[in-house]
Chains A and B, each alone.
Chain A
Amino acid sequence: MNPTPLNPSPMSPAPMTDRKRAPMSDLSRRSFLAGAGLGLAGAATLAVTNLGTRLALAAPGSPQTGDTLVVVFLRGGADGLTIAPPYGYPSYRKLRPSIAIAPPGTADGALPLDKSNPNAAFPTGLAGVVGLHPAFKPIHDTLWREGKLAVIPATGLPPSESASRSHFSATRYVQAGSASTAVGGGWLARMINTMGVGGVIPAVDTSARSDLLRGGRGTAVIPSLGSFGVNGFPDRDRTATALRALHAGTDSIAGQGRTALDVAARVATLGTELRPGYPKGSLAKTFSELSSMLKAGLGIQAAVVDYGGWDMHSNLGTVGAGRFHDRATELAAALRAFADDTNGLDEITVLVMTEFGRTINENGSRGTDHGRGTTYLAMGAGIRGGVFGDDYPDEIADEPTYGDLAVLTDYRKLVAEIVTRRAGVSDLGVVFPTYRGSGSLGLTR
């Protein structure tokens, strides 16, 4: 394909009229957020305008929409060429003799990402260039059909930050949002810190394995609602009082301790049973609990789900079985249940990202080694379905040892668009202090 010049549309205010009205339960969630964050004045504003917190919180002239941003991190370097296979590329079939995915319409073929879906947009001409691994059928059937799933192939760290192909460097960089050691904590944490308002729990990390929320104000790490409390002591209330006294200091342990006590008191009433429609498995349970927390009105603006196991140096597998199939199937089922449970991701944007992609060459163990370009997914009621990116390579480099998918879209370009247009951040420089790019892909509504 020839490079297609991107024609970035200037950012326009989010169209308010085509946003579905939130059901009452979601409005009350947002009302709680406003009340907690703004005090009486904020709550009064909300009551007067009656426009929902999303609009009440927006600064004048800002395109703030205030989605909750859920980042799913595929730890290990997920193979973007298997998530979104470029099935028409000769090099793809040739260099992956046992793991390539067939074109749409054939047996075990990729799911189409083309103009057969009238709800999808292809602003840079990427219709039909890649498909989607068949394991993603649960979200292809719904979110893709409804125009709520954006696929961004050939993205990742820019060349200046991806030379080492180290898991640890790449993970640190994409989670910090910068390769500079002067930038501390995660980009999602800085997003939270710059937003200024927050409820009981501004941000939830479901495992503490990633750095995305490291340094985020009031971030609660909640691996499991069922065990999020203090037990083992004879007198629960007196214990909580004493713990608070022991954690009265100004140090970081005391601060985390007070947050833990506040959050534990608030989530103690939430049900811990699996919500209807979720499959078995720990990832689905995580999303079920996240949904419970979102519906409880805790003011959650960001959440992280760390989902590992993508470092598939061997036995990546076929369409119907194997390591990739198993991981992607569990991921797609959990995302589908979460979307169904949240009125089609209303006021929620989900970003699925990873640290790097993998080599075009299948290695001797039927897996792939460390590469650079990969595929990100974004989905939500405020996401415009389609395939986005500055471009896709004409050919995937076939060097004897280093061949991989080039990064043609800096990951921060799409994340920046999401945090400004969906999460409501106005000061992008705080979130990505070393990012010098501009323009947007147009994947947000």
Chain B
Amino acid sequence: MAGAGGSPTTQPATPGSSSTLSPAGTTPAAAAPSVVTPRAVAAPGILVANRITFGVTPAILSQIDQQGGGGFIDDQLARTGPDAEVEARLGALGMLRLNPSLASYNAVQGTGAARLRQEITLAAVTRAVASRHQLYEVMCHLWMDHFNLEVFNDGSARHLLVDYQEKVIRPNALGSFRNLLKATAHAPAMLAYLDNDTSNANSKQGINENYGRELLELHTLGIAPDGSQVYTEADVRAAAMAMTGWSTVSDRKAADFSAFVFRPQYHHTGDISLLNGAWIRGATQGQATGESLLEFLVTHPSTARHVARRICRRLVADNPPASLIESTAQVYLANDTQLVPTVRHVLNSAELAASGGQKLRRPFEHLAAMLRALGTVLPTDPASDGAVGLQRHLERTDHLPWSWPQPDGFPDTAAHWLNTGALLYRWSAAGQLAGNRIKGVQTDLGPLTAGGGTVGDLITRLATRFGLGPRTAEEVAAVAASVRKTPGDPADSIDPKLLPAIPGLLLTHPIFQTR
């Protein structure tokens, strides 16, 4: 998998040797690597809240105060669909309703393509920032990665992207993995992206194995981090054979142009078996053979581990403990691939409680966390300066939704995302957002900085609100110095032009880069 190359570790920094990524020859899974220092690790309730949200808010902090971390988990697990209030706000984004059709196809050509990108991005930011169903939105992003595709740059499939997001991924994000897998397998966007729509067992050139391979490698059985796998090249071809005929309507005059269709004339009719006969097509024929294969795969123990690993990597650690992957896989199988009990097991695990400091916020998550922390008013017009400004930040940090070109999805490891250039982009965005320097994106610093007291009091209040907890005297003094004050000076003596530096700097804090 991409991003599995190195692992972050905590090491004493030496002058001139600033990178503390894994040195040569270490085993990624050996230690319990920490992205931030252990002293910075948040209280348990805050830790789990950071893992299942795009950043804590005063409302969440107060909910945890009242109900405890467990209460917050239960509340979030009960929200298995989108937040209706936020969805209503997105009503004006008409492209989110595009279905497979010629009209949709035509709508996203030319300038329509840019508009589609803007609507998808604004919807993603709005949902992550404003939805009260935070765990649900986190899971949506997890499955967007697991079943990633990149069709935006393919004019013939671009219009299928929102259908994939809205009708395939999102409705199944906290349902069952079975339904999710099957929905992706029937999705025109997936069949086009991985070339299954043209895979024809009865043509001279033969099948296209692209989907069959990724179905086994990425979507179901997986390749373990140690490189082991249960399937062979012959199984890849067998899977591709079983899926031949799963295609899309190519007749532009048809009302259901580009929708799913099974093409019997493309289908391989001979014997097919996988994993040394563990699955055979048997009496099944046609589309039923593919359905049978998916049914076999979804409850295979390797799939259970692969899915468990993906969930644990998202919620717990870049290299999750083997014990947790194993127990999570068991829960997945015992609950017939249902995701709520599976995720509940992970969230209540001792492994998660011990995993403080081990997950880096990826750029999208950092942006959403900043917007949540600041209470920024989001733009509503996807073509506005504000929306385009936010999109530009995601573009240059390489984390614009649906822009990862490979089918393995955006990496979910600190080793991929943590580097000098990326940090500079994060810092600049923090300064720009707090200082209202992105045209059309408005942050009201009034409520954030009200409350009087000293400069030190103000810094501590903001640090707590942002989920950093109280900061050290040295850090408070350094932040105060950035506005030419000492911690003991009155807060209302700060030059208003310098004031944004305080929230801005706190958003650059290493702890704020983690979740």
Contacts and interface: CB of A to CB of B under 8 A. Distances in A.
Contacts of B483: 238
Interface stretch (B304-312, B331-339, B377-385, B420-428): B420-428
Interface residues of B, number: 100
B237 A401 contact: yes
A188 B180 CA distance: 40
Contacts of A176: 5
A217 interface: yes
A190 B19 CA distance: 13
Interface string A239-274: 101110111111111111111101110000000000
A190 B479 CA distance: 37
Interface residues of A, number: 83
Report which residue of A165, A185, A217, A256 has the largest number of chain B beta carbons within 10 angstroms of its beta carbon: A256
A219 interface: yes
Contacts of A234: 435, 497-498, 500-501
B303 interface: no
B217 interface: yes
B443 interface: no
A241 B501 contact: no
B259 interface: no
B233 interface: yes
A55 B484 CA distance: 49
A216 to B, nearest CB: 7
Interface in B459-497: 474-475, 477-479, 481-484, 497
Contacts of A117: none
Contact of B5 (A194, A214, A258, A314): A214
Nearest to A173: B227
Contacts of A258: 13, 18
Contacts of A260: 420-421, 423-424
Contact of B18 (A175, A218, A242): A218
Contacts of A314: 195
Interface stretch (B66-74, B77-85, B321-329, B505-513): B505-513
A232 B441 CA distance: 14
Given A228-B421, A260-B420, A252 B431 contact: no
Contacts of B250: none
A232 B428 contact: yes
Given A216-B19, A235-B482, A250 B37 contact: yes
A74 to B, nearest CB: 14
Given A208-B419, A217-B17, A232 B504 contact: yes
A172 B206 contact: no
Contact of B505 (A179, A214, A219, A246): A246
A223 B421 contact: yes
Contact of A231 (B2, B20, B204, B431): B431
A193 B208 CA distance: 43
A252 B481 contact: no
Nearest to A232: B431
Given A233-B431, A256-B423, A365 B4 contact: no
A68 B508 CA distance: 33
A193 to B, nearest CB: 6
Contacts of A254: 13, 37, 510
B34 A402 contact: no
A225 to B, nearest CB: 10
B226 A181 contact: yes
Contacts of B477: 245
B423 A164 contact: no
Contact of A164 (B35, B233, B432): B233
A246 B484 contact: no
Nearest to B217: A166
Interface in A158-204: 163-169, 171-172, 175-176, 179, 181-186, 189-190, 193-194, 198
B115 interface: no
B19 A181 contact: no
Contacts of A25: none
B415 A164 contact: no
Nearest to B224: A181
Contacts of B233: 163-165, 402
A257 B405 CA distance: 28
B12 interface: yes
Interface string B7-31: 1111111001111111111111100
A239 B24 contact: no
A242 B478 contact: yes
B242 to A, nearest CB: 16
B223 A166 contact: yes
A23 interface: no
A164 B416 CA distance: 23
Given A229-B424, A233-B431, A184 B22 contact: yes
A81 B345 CA distance: 50
Contacts of A45: none
Interface string A205-218: 10111010011111
A222 B420 contact: yes
Contacts, number: 284
A308 interface: yes
A31 to B, nearest CB: 18
Contact of B205 (A209, A215, A363): A363
B24 A189 contact: yes
A231 B509 contact: no
A118 interface: no
A227 B432 CA distance: 14
Given A251-B37, A252-B9, A255-B20, A230 B427 contact: yes
B149 interface: no
Given A239-B505, A253-B36, A172 B4 contact: yes
Given A165-B233, A184-B28, A223-B396, A313 B195 contact: yes
Contact of A255 (B13, B206, B223, B360): B13
Nearest to B237: A401
Given A181-B225, A239-B482, A239-B505, A215 B18 contact: no
B59 to A, nearest CB: 27
A250 B206 contact: no
B434 to A, nearest CB: 8
B198 interface: yes
Nearest to B510: A253
B396 A227 contact: yes
B343 to A, nearest CB: 25
A316 interface: no
A364 B200 contact: yes
Given A184-B7, A238-B481, A256 B205 contact: no
Contacts of A169: 223, 227
A263 B420 contact: yes
Contacts of B18: 218, 255-259, 262
B19 A242 contact: no
Nearest to A199: B16
A387 interface: no
A393 interface: no
Given A215-B24, A233-B504, A235-B482, A243 B19 contact: no
A363 B27 CA distance: 40
Interface in B392-424: 396, 398, 405-406, 408, 414-424
A250 B20 contact: yes
B119 interface: no
Given A251-B34, A258-B18, A364-B200, A232 B429 contact: yes
Chain A to chain B: the 4 pairs with minimum beta-carbon distance, closest first = A232-B431, A364-B205, A211-B5, A245-B478
Given A168-B217, A227-B396, 5 more contacts: A243-B427, A243-B505, A243-B508, A257-B423, A257-B510
Interface of A: 163-169, 171-172, 175-176, 179, 181-186, 189-190, 193-194, 198, 205, 207-209, 211, 214-223, 227-235, 238-239, 241-243, 245-260, 262-264, 308, 313-314, 363-365, 369, 400-402, 430, 433
18 contacts: A169-B223, A182-B27, A184-B5, A184-B7, A219-B19, A230-B427, A232-B428, A234-B435, A235-B501, A239-B501, A250-B11, A251-B10, A252-B19, A252-B21, A253-B418, A255-B20, A258-B18, A365-B198
